[in-house]
Amino acid sequence: MPEPEVIRVLKRHGNAMGSMDPDFIAADYAEDAVVLCNLVDKPAVGRAEIRDMIAEILKMNVINFSEDPDAPEEDKEVAQDIAAGEYALHIFENRGAGMKGIETYCVRNDKIVFESAVITIL
């Protein structure tokens, strides 16, 4: 998959996160995807476990995507995406959502097959 397509999937995934809907968010992952995230105790393997992990994180109330469109610039998302082939690095800070982090992805056939995420709650 060319790099622009990987970045497109990451942007789509970021928009899905704003929905706060675990099923909608999990649809971005391949059936056999793996996600490692510091906010939970174990890896999530497969779309069903990833959906459950997303729901668990959302229940923690650590992420708030009710960002005010009129918020000052420092509260808007600042992100950097770097991609090579099917791999991407996403570095972000989103004060409106109350978090910052570094995520690595592997994307194949328009789906995320691997993600590692280190998230810091602001």
pTM (two decimals): 0.84
Could you tell me which of 120, 122, 94 has the C-alpha nearest to residue 15? 94
Q: Which residue has the higher pLDDT, 118 or 94?
A: 118
| Structural Rg of the chain based on CA atoms | 14
The model's pLDDT over 19-29, given as tens digits with 9 standing for 90+, comes to 889 999 999 99
| Residue 45 bridge partners (DSSP) | 34
Report residue 44's pLDDT band, with 50, 70 and 90 as the boundaries. very high
What pLDDT is recorded for position 64? 59
Residues of the chain with pLDDT > 90, as a percent, come to 57
Q: Are 99 and 80 in contact (CB under 8 A)?
A: no
Task: Write down how long the chain is.
Answer: 122
Topology (CATH) of 3-121: Nuclear Transport Factor 2; Chain: A, (3.10.450)
The model's pLDDT over 71-87, given as tens digits with 9 standing for 90+, comes to 544 445 567 888 999 99
3-class secondary-structure state, position 72: coil
Q: Is the pLDDT of residue 31 over 90?
A: yes
